[in-house]
Amino acid sequence: MAYFDYASGCPVDRRVIDAMIPYMIDVIGNPSSVHSMGLKARSALDEARGKILRLIGTEDGEIIFTSGATEANNLAIIGFGMRNRGKGKHIISSSIEHMSVINSCKVLQKNGFDVTYIPVDRNGIVRVDELEESIREDTILITVQHANNEIGTIQPVEEIGEIAREKGIVFHVDATASLGKINVNADRMNADMITLSSNDIYGPRGVGGLFIRKGVRVQPIIVGGGQEKGYRSGTENVPGIVGFGVAAEITEKEYREEAKREEKLRDEIIRRMLEIEDTYLNGHPELRLPNNVNVRFSYIEGESLVLSLDMEGIYASTASACTSKTLQPSHVLMACGLKHEEAHGSLLFTLGKETTEKDVDRLMEVLPMVVEKLRKMSPLYKKKKGG
């Protein structure tokens, strides 16, 4: 097996699993209970919050635990918008955000908000000049991802954060794809809210978090008993949150060296893939995540490539797992100016801790043969060759 789909799902670090087990078996108290068992659970949650805050380089705020990054994005955008609609109803985002951001913005639009989607250049970089020009007196929120989960392009969030801070606008950053790959520093980015994901740093699935800076007011979107400081009701997933905290602690110590290792493998894959005829890199050639390779192969369908590679024990993706269920081309690639057929012929390879040089060699042994085979069946390729 050669797994190149870490952006869709990561294995849980064994050290994380070991830390979680006692909270599944021994420390079974509800964090809201006042007895000693409940207080142990509450202490574990607080400890995890501290570890995650250290990872994102700030003490000026809270971590609110959620069921994942999608819920965190919903809370940040819908929760903030509805809580602050008396101050204004204009939001700025980008055209290549994750669908949980885009659909949260659509919810606000149905509630009378106006959303401006800033275009990107061909490499997927948000046009900061157009973003600044789009700011209005009633703009209350700017939400831009730190790095794109499909094409890996890293956004100029520090520059955007400076603009937002200067204009007195709250700035939300979706750091799902970037956390654990590059430095995520809340204070340096001037970020008022940051979306975080556990599994993307080798923690358990079904856990995420939203950093909310002190002074930022957000309305809950899940109501009940008022857990998570009133922002997110429901009994907390203590084992999962403990695992998230330990994953953050491990990430803080190890991600820099791991990123260097993955970047070397990434560059080797890109170099060898681009030697295949009519193959092109999607996303920025330099300002990209160290584990991301997004390439388009002309004249063939990405789905056919994925299935053909799967038969050889190699796992990749055509787009993010959250959008691959639709038959529509990637909105990210389309926003970068690709044609429908170019977007459909794109493939995403994402690397992780267990990716080896042997995996890369296996991929590059199989991929050229698969591409050649599929192109021979393509009428577009036959037409190009005069067949």
95/179 same-domain check: yes
Q: What is the pLDDT of residue 327?
A: 63
Catalytic residue list: 322
Residues 83 and 197 in one domain: yes
For residues 261 and 234, membership in a common domain is answered with: no
Render each residue's pLDDT in the chain as its tens digit; 387 residues. 999 999 999 999 999 999 999 999 999 999 999 999 999 999 999 999 999 999 999 999 999 999 999 999 999 999 999 999 999 999 999 999 999 999 999 999 999 999 999 999 999 999 999 999 999 999 999 999 999 999 999 999 999 999 999 999 999 999 999 999 999 999 999 999 999 999 999 999 999 999 999 999 999 999 999 999 999 999 999 999 999 999 999 999 999 999 999 999 999 999 999 999 999 999 999 999 999 999 999 999 899 999 999 999 999 999 744 555 556 889 999 999 999 888 989 999 999 999 999 999 999 999 999 999 999 988 777 667 765
Say whether both 353 and 210 belong to one domain: no
Cross-strand pairs, 174: 145, 195
Query: Do 340 and 214 share a domain, yes or no?
Result: no
* Position 139 in a domain: yes
What pLDDT shows up at residue 325? 57
Backbone dihedral angles phi then psi of residue 140, each to the nearest 5 degrees: -115, -15
Whether residue 265 is found in the same domain as residue 148: no
Q: What are the CA-CA distances from residue 275 to residues 202, 272, 280, 297, 308 (Å)?
A: 33, 5, 10, 11, 20
Q: Within a domain: residue 293?
A: yes
Q: What is the CA radius of gyration of the chain?
A: 22
User: Given 251, 270, 302, which residue is the final one in a domain?
Assistant: 251
Q: Report the number of distinct structural domains present in the chain.
A: 2
- For residue 301, give Cα distances in angstroms to 40, 317, 323: 53, 12, 16
Which of these three, 251, 285, 308, is where a domain ends? 251
- Per-residue tokens: 181: 């790959």
Both 234 and 138 in one domain: the answer is yes
- Domain match, 224 and 300 both: no
Per-residue confidence (pLDDT) for residue 321, from 0 to 100:
47
In a domain, 386, yes or no: no
Alpha carbon 230 to its chain centroid, in Å, reads: 26
Cα angle for residues 191, 193, 196 (degrees, 5° grid): 110
Instruction: For the full predicted model, state whether its pTM sits above 0.75.
Output: yes
CATH number for position 263: 3.90.1150.10
Same domain, 228 and 114: yes
Locate 300 and state its tokens: 């063939």
- Enclosing domain of residue 189: 13-251
Q: Specify if 114 maps to a domain.
A: yes
**Domain end call among 251, 284, 314:** 251
Q: What is the CATH number of the domain that holds 63?
A: 3.40.640.10
233 with 263, same domain? no
Q: Are residues 221 and 320 in the same domain?
A: no
pLDDT at 341: 85
Examine residue 383 and state whether it is found in any structural domain, yes or no. Answer: no
Do the domain assignments include residue 242? yes
Whether residues 213 and 287 share a domain: the answer is no
Distance CA 29, CA 33 (A): 7
Domain assignment present for residue 216? The answer is: yes
